[in-house]
């Protein structure tokens, strides 16, 4: 990455005054927009955003003016992969692919995204320019510039979109990575809500922060809990706008439902406060309406909760000795989940593999180790009672640790080095750590990704056989997993009430789990010789994953899908991601961004645009 202008240029930007008050301005439809323009023959041609090859692309002096407005934070984006294109066998290229396994390396580069691409769907591509924003005024200047020059605008925080929605070629990027302040409040009242909403403990976070750092500040330092994501390098703004699930969401609910207030720069370049009392519809839309569609969020304030005394894990892998015994094992574990685990204490996953193994990867909160062991003992006993049918290939492990140490980098490195990895670049901050389990996802190329919220009714005795058959059938083709923390059946009433007041598909409310079947290739990059993913293998895998998915899908054909962990090719994406909430979300979009400055693949309002977001279709 290089700054295009080595010397700060202090020329004033000719622009509208973007230092507008951060305040409760009324939301009115904007009229700054690209309408259809007459062609030479008089017939309107569809509006098209400009590319560098177009005459309308901003001049050098325009870019200099933007650079001045953002205090020399405009970057001409260069990809480290250029070294590979120049010399695929060279040391520089080898270094890039070594670093590709480090999510912090990827996250710290404006040209890169955590997922490199998706077979036959998208390939990560850098923007032409990026504003490495350090504050709201930088963001507002970039938004104004993109709107005034008809540019394709992209927003990136943590860079973890599976759908490729935080990158686009020929675009201007607003990159929020440097906006990562974290501030705890004892008694936060959203602006304009005094007397209407009780003060609550909360945390305000810059939109470019990642969860691992937020947890460290809120939990390790502050002794509180905030609901974020499971993967520590996911960005805060992207996750909250997704809906957002962490390991303990079965108790604390959606991350989005914990949002108390956001500051967001809308398409008119105005920084607006959104909360339950001020711009409430925009606020609602930000809670699960999908990132990159309504504006650029600059700050989020989230409710914090009392910290439980303990967090813990239950791990283990069981090998069944025949298909018949594997089927019985699946039925048993599902019934066990329904009877003993579908409550606020338990989250994370059970995975069903094709070699007749069942992998437990569960977490708990608010129980001691002894209490957790007591919960699981009947299941462990059942397995032990059938040695001819089952063996533990990875013995059951129940462990608990003080919740305050769960995201403490120093503590984890000491007591659980097998679970935690560090950013190994020279000089990297000591708190740049991530779960070992997420390492494989850095730099990956996806082949396919399917998800659905499975209704708790499928666990009823009369339907359990059907669910068992579906998971067994899927596992014959591809591993399937149930993410219990991503469905809210069994959650406390207040978590359900808060989730109901978000844009997320209401199917989440009575789902016992989000079922996921997905596959990927390890770090690779399409178009980089020697490091390309195997496309034929990717297509073969996608077909097989699709067949596995059909086994599960037929059980719940209308079930919604989690917007940020879903199929790039989702046919009815509006219904899948938002269900009955879509029309309200579309209205919010019309109010705050009537000209669709903000576009992402399968985001609200994107149906009016070409796949690449450059050409208006209607």
Residues 236-265 that bind ligand FAD (CB under 6 A): 237-239, 241-242, 244-245
**Binding region for ligand FAD (CB under 6 A) out of 52-60, 288-296, 361-369, 396-404:** 288-296
Residues 142-181 that bind ligand FAD (CB under 6 A): 155-162, 165-166, 176
**Binding region for ligand FAD (CB under 6 A) out of 62-70, 87-95, 291-299, 605-613:** 291-299
Site membership for ligand FAD, residue 519 (CB under 6 A):
no
Question: Could you tell me the smallest distance in angstroms from the CB atom of residue 75 to ligand FAD?
Answer: 16
C-alpha dihedral sign at 313, 317, 323, 328: negative
d(CA 144, CA 65): 12
**Binding region for ligand FAD (CB under 6 A) out of 224-232, 427-435, 502-510, 573-581:** 224-232
Return the number of the residue (157 or 526) whose C-beta is nearest ligand FAD: 157
Question: Could you tell me the smallest distance in angstroms from the CB atom of residue 156 to ligand FAD?
Answer: 4
Site membership for ligand FAD, residue 451 (CB under 6 A):
no
SS3 594: coil
Return the number of the residue (127 or 357) whose C-beta is nearest ligand FAD: 127
Return the number of the residue (278 or 357) whose C-beta is nearest ligand FAD: 278
C-alpha dihedral sign at 335, 336, 340, 341: negative
Question: Could you tell me the smallest distance in angstroms from the CB atom of residue 604 to ligand FAD?
Answer: 11
Site membership for ligand FAD, residue 600 (CB under 6 A):
yes
Return the number of the residue (68 or 600) whose C-beta is nearest ligand FAD: 600
Return the number of the residue (502 or 564) whose C-beta is nearest ligand FAD: 564
Residues 499-518 that bind ligand FAD (CB under 6 A): none
CB-CB contact of 248 with 491 (8 Å): no
CB-CB contact of 230 with 160 (8 Å): no
With CB under 6 A, what is the number of residues at the site for ligand FAD? 35
Return the number of the residue (106 or 358) whose C-beta is nearest ligand FAD: 106
d(CA 260, CA 526): 41
Read off the tokens for 587: 């209205």
Question: Could you tell me the smallest distance in angstroms from the CB atom of residue 599 to ligand FAD?
Answer: 10
Question: Could you tell me the smallest distance in angstroms from the CB atom of residue 384 to ligand FAD?
Answer: 32
Provide the phi-psi class of 39: left if phi over 0, else alpha when psi is between -120 and 50, else beta: beta
Return the number of the residue (160 or 224) whose C-beta is nearest ligand FAD: 160
Taking residue 43's Cβ as centre, other Cβ atoms within 10 Å add up to: 8
d(CA 475, CA 76): 46
Read off the tokens for 227: 């609901």
**Binding region for ligand FAD (CB under 6 A) out of 227-235, 353-361, 370-378, 571-579:** 227-235
List, in order, residues 6 or more apart from 360 with CB less than 8 Å away.
314, 315, 316, 317, 318, 350, 396
Return the number of the residue (83 or 579) whose C-beta is nearest ligand FAD: 579
Positions of E strands within 433-565: 433-435, 444-455, 480-483, 511-521
Q: What per-residue string of b and e applies to 486-519 under the rule 16 or more CB within 10 Å gives b?
A: bbbbbbeeebbebbeebbbbbbbbbbbbbbbbbb
Alpha carbon 413 to chain centroid, angstroms: 26
- The correct pick among 102, 116, 204, 207 for binding ligand FAD (CB under 6 A) is 207
CB-CB contact of 471 with 545 (8 Å): no
Question: Could you tell me the smallest distance in angstroms from the CB atom of residue 331 to ligand FAD?
Answer: 28
Question: Could you tell me the smallest distance in angstroms from the CB atom of residue 601 to ligand FAD?
Answer: 8
d(CA 197, CA 260): 10
Site membership for ligand FAD, residue 297 (CB under 6 A):
yes
Site membership for ligand FAD, residue 114 (CB under 6 A):
yes
Question: Could you tell me the smallest distance in angstroms from the CB atom of residue 412 to ligand FAD?
Answer: 17
Identify the CA nearest to 605 among candidates 295, 298, 294. Answer: 294
Read off the tokens for 543: 């077909």
Helix (H) or strand (E) holding 302: strand 296-306
Return the number of the residue (115 or 505) whose C-beta is nearest ligand FAD: 115
Please give the backbone phi and psi of residue 25, each rounded to the nearest 5 degrees, phi first: -80, 145
- The correct pick among 125, 218, 296, 488 for binding ligand FAD (CB under 6 A) is 296
Residues 551-590 that bind ligand FAD (CB under 6 A): 564-565
Question: Which residues of the chain form contacts with ligand FAD (CB under 6 A)?
Answer: 114-115, 155-162, 165-166, 176, 207, 229-231, 234-235, 237-239, 241-242, 244-245, 291-292, 296-297, 438, 441, 564-565, 600
């Amino acid at each position: 990455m290089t700054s295009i202008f080595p010397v700060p240029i202090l020329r004033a930007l000719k622009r509208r005054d973007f230092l507008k008050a951060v305040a409760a301005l009324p939301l009115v439809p904007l009229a700054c927009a690209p309408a259809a323009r007459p062609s030479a023959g008089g017939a309107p041609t569809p509006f098209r955003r400009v590319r560098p090859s177009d005459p309308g692309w901003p001049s050098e002096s325009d870019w200099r003016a933007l650079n001045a407005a953002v205090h020399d934070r405009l970057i001409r984006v260069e990809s480290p992969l250029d070294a590979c294109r120049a010399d695929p066998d060279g040391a520089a290229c080898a270094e890039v692919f070594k670093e590709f396994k480090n999510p912090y390396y990827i996250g710290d580069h404006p040209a890169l995204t955590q997922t490199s691409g998706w077979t036959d769907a998208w390939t990560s591509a850098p923007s032409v320019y990026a504003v490495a924003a350090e504050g709201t005024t930088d963001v507002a200047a970039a938004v104004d510039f993109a709107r005034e020059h008809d540019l394709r605008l992209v927003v990136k925080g943590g860079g973890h979109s599976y759908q490729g929605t935080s990158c686009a070629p020929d675009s201007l990027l607003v990159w929020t990575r440097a906006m990562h302040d974290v501030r705890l409040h004892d008694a936060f009242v959203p602006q304009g809500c005094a007397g209407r909403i009780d003060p609550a403990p909360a945390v305000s976070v810059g939109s470019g922060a990642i969860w691992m750092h937020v947890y460290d500040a809120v939990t390790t330092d502050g002794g509180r809990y905030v609901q974020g994501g499971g993967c520590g390098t996911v960005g805060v703004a992207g996750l909250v706008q997704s809906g957002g699930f962490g390991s303990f969401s079965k108790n604390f609910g959606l991350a989005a439902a914990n949002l108390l207030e956001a500051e967001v720069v809308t398409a008119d370049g105005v920084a607006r406060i959104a909360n339950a009392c001020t711009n409430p519809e925009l606020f609602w839309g930000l809670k699960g309406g999908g990132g990159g569609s309504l504006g650029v969020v600059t700050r989020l304030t989230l409710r914090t909760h009392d910290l439980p005394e303990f967090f813990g894990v239950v791990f283990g892998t069981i090998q069944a000795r025949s298909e018949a015994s594997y089927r019985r094992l699946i039925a048993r574990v599902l019934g066990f989940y329904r009877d003993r685990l579908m409550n606020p204490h338990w989250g994370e996953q059970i995975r069903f593999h094709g070699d007749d193994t069942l992998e437990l990867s569960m977490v708990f909160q608010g129980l001691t180790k002894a209490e957790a062991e007591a919960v699981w003992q009947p299941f462990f006993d059942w397995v032990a009672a059938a040695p001819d049918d089952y063996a533990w290939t990875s013995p059951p492990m129940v462990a608990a640790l003080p919740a305050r140490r769960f995201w403490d980098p120093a503590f984890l490195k000491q007591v659980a080095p097998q679970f935690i990895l560090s950013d190994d670049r020279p000089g990297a901050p000591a708190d740049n750590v991530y779960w070992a389990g997420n390492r494989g996802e850095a730099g990956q190329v996806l082949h396919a990704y399917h998800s659905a919220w499975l209704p708790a009714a499928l666990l009823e005795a009369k339907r359990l056989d059907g669910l068992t058959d579906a998971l067994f059938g899927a596992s014959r083709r591809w591993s399937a997993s149930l993410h219990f923390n991503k469905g809210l059946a069994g959650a406390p009433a207040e978590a359900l009430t808060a989730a109901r007041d978000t844009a997320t598909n209401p199917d989440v409310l009575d789902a016992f789990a989000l079922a996921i079947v997905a596959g990927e290739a390890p770090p690779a990059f399409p178009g980089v010789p020697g490091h390309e993913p195997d496309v034929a293998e990717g297509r073969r895998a996608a077909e097989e994953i699709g067949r596995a998915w059909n086994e599960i899908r037929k059980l719940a054909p209308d079930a919604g899908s989690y917007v940020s962990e879903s199929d790039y090719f989702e046919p009815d994406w509006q219904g899948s991601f938002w269900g009955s909430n879509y029309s309200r979300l579309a209205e919010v979009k019309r109010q705050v961004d009537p000209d669709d400055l903000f576009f992402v693949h399968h985001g609200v309002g994107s149906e009016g645009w070409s796949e690449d977001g450059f050409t208006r279709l209607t």
